[in-house]
Structure 1
């Protein structure tokens, strides 16, 4: 994969080029049978992992599904929608369960010869306290009570301090990665459709997903087929959704 110096990268990411790429992305429901090259898939997955994420713990994983037999089994799981006939489907999974290993991996793979002391301390002490909810969420419950008292004196980050908070935490970062993934494929000339219409129970059986993994979307990928976009784009007026303070 080609890397660019920082200044060159900023020049390439001009507002006009970025707008053109984003505006060209549509949810495509019909695809041709043309396969997506492995090099393209790898490049787009690499772009996905460059997404911003909470504490750099990268709480996501991806299952790349190309096998025709497995794709055929997924079609009814996806409510038999046309988009699920794509030659490539990527299961985008939020992983609230991987934070411990991520804390260790950050120190192991730190991109400098010496890991700064503050980094070691954060991932050895601060992050484990912040993200560990304990058996049955009991530690999270105790932390919530402690925060109520300490927050009387100063502002504090109050989440994630429950199993439910951890799910939200992981999904937020993974959604950012999914957007990178879609724009990556768009830049290579391949269309995508983020599918939320699927039977999660059956999906877990077909893909044998890790128990704690949260499937936030199945991303259909391929060359846009005839009548692939069903309707014109509709977005609400900006003034309806933005408050200027």
Structure 2
């Protein structure tokens, strides 16, 4: 059954959330103190509560604690200081798992019976939307169809190509990654999302599924000395926000 948080103590909740978000910084140096498995698992459980397109959850996580693998990942991450963390989580987006995900939604539906509308959506509408066909040939046809339909009425125009499927998966996975960082922050563990790494060598170190997109390597741990290099800088809000 769906639940909604009661509208009580909202000001206090907002203040706690603001404090959590403002305290999160990209930490570059960590102590050697390990992150407990119970904390890691709980943070991952919170991360996968993130929203995803059609609830297809196109993400996966490789949790690396093994010292030998961590040593190899330092090389993969070009020797940057954050890669010396006691925990690194590879966050992956999966543009090709939509078919299995559709089946899993129906298999794991949290009620005794799957509603007819839900069953129809995941057996018909979602496959039509996400199946781009071999080498993207279905996507090509759908793009032509969308152009024609869109002349008369609003229509969902993406994803209608293999490249758009990559973007689709990355967008949802990025939401989970942000939730994961905030979850660790709530436990007192800092993070650093690393995009500077050799993707080819990463696939030589970790058994990454074919077609998966590594979007970041997340370093996690207790901040060490000189953990934050620079003061926080953000552009003025009005520079990026338009009010209508």
Asked if residue 22 in structure 1 is aligned to residue 21 in structure 2, the reply is yes
Calculate the TM-score normalised by the size of structure 1: 0.96
Change (3 A) 1:150 1:202: same
TM-fit CA distance, 1:151: 1.2
Deviations 1:84-132 (A, max 9, x none): 0000000000011110011000011111111100000000000000000
TM-fit CA distance, 1:217: 0.3
Equivalent position SS for 2:6: helix
Change (3 A) 1:9 1:69: farther
Calculate the TM-score normalised by the size of structure 2: 0.96
Structure 1 segments, 4+ long, off by >3 Å, are 8-13
TM-fit CA distance, 1:197: 0.4
Matches within 5 A, 1:84-103: 84-103=83-102
Runs of 5+ in structure 2 lacking a partner? none
Counterpart for residue 160 of structure 1: 159
RMSD between aligned alpha carbons? 1.5
Matches within 5 A, 1:56-135: 56-135=55-134
Q: Give me the whole-angstrom Cα distance separating, in 2, the residues matched to 1:99 and 1:223.
A: 36
Runs of 5+ in structure 1 lacking a partner? none
TM-fit CA distance, 1:13: 7.0
Counterpart for residue 188 of structure 2: 189
TM-fit CA distance, 1:7: 2.3
Q: Give me the whole-angstrom Cα distance separating, in 1, the residues matched to 2:70 and 2:129.
A: 39
Counterpart for residue 207 of structure 1: 206
Equivalent position SS for 1:123: helix
Q: Give me the whole-angstrom Cα distance separating, in 2, the residues matched to 1:11 and 1:239.
A: 26
